[in-house]
Amino acid sequence: MWINKTLLRLLIILTLIGLGWFINDGFSEEVRNKSMNKEMIALIPVGSINKGLLTTLASSLEDIFRLPVSVDRSMQLPSDAYNPKRQQYHATTILNKVKGKTSSGKGRRLGIVDVDLYVPELNFVFGEADLLGKTAVISLSRLRQEFYGLPRDEDLFLKRTLKEAVHELGHTFGLRHCQNEKCVMHFSNSLRDTDIKQVTFCPICQKKIAIEMLNEP
């Protein structure tokens, strides 16, 4: 029986949703192969970032998104992003610098900085993403226990870093903030919110991101 391409595509998407081929369970081979043939994620250190952290983060992101993740050469922290009055760096300025950097491959870019970030309407941000593009940036600064005068906890720091990386990359797939406080796409108004949520997407966000991956040209 003849089926037009639009209907066939819809049937494929509905089948994937029905079978639960989502991120936390792993994509189907069809989705994974299609994504790996056209996309990758590049981690771009902005300033001095620990190489071991970058390696660990890249491996974890590959497991979650089922996409190849590379670590690009570092770029300088832009001096024009610094606001001496606030003693913070403007997140959007750094985001735009990362967006303009020549990367080693096509796909999404995640800038990583170890300075405190802000946007004008908020006291601070853990990160920022371009919802219309494929670029995001996260800050490590406030994810450390030491920032709050508490004893160092490397495992907790790594968990927080991964959550914020997945969250901002989720925005580059078109995901908005989620009302489910356990979903990684839930907005972190404080570090407590980050610690409460999981590193995985809720079922609703899983469906959205799976469809987005299938529909990307």
Q: Where in the sequence numbering do the catalytic residues fall?
A: 168
- Pseudo-torsion of CA 147, 153, 159, 161, nearest 10°? 30
168 HSE (CA, 13 A, CB side): 26
What are the residue ranges of helices labelled H in the chain?
A: 5-19, 29-36, 51-65, 91-100, 154-172, 191-196, 203-215
Contact 128, 119 (CB under 8 A): yes
Q: 41 has which bridge partners?
A: 69, 108
- Whole-angstrom CA distances from 165 to 3, 17, 78, 137, 140 are 40, 25, 21, 8, 10
Task: Specify the amino acid at residue 110.
Answer: L
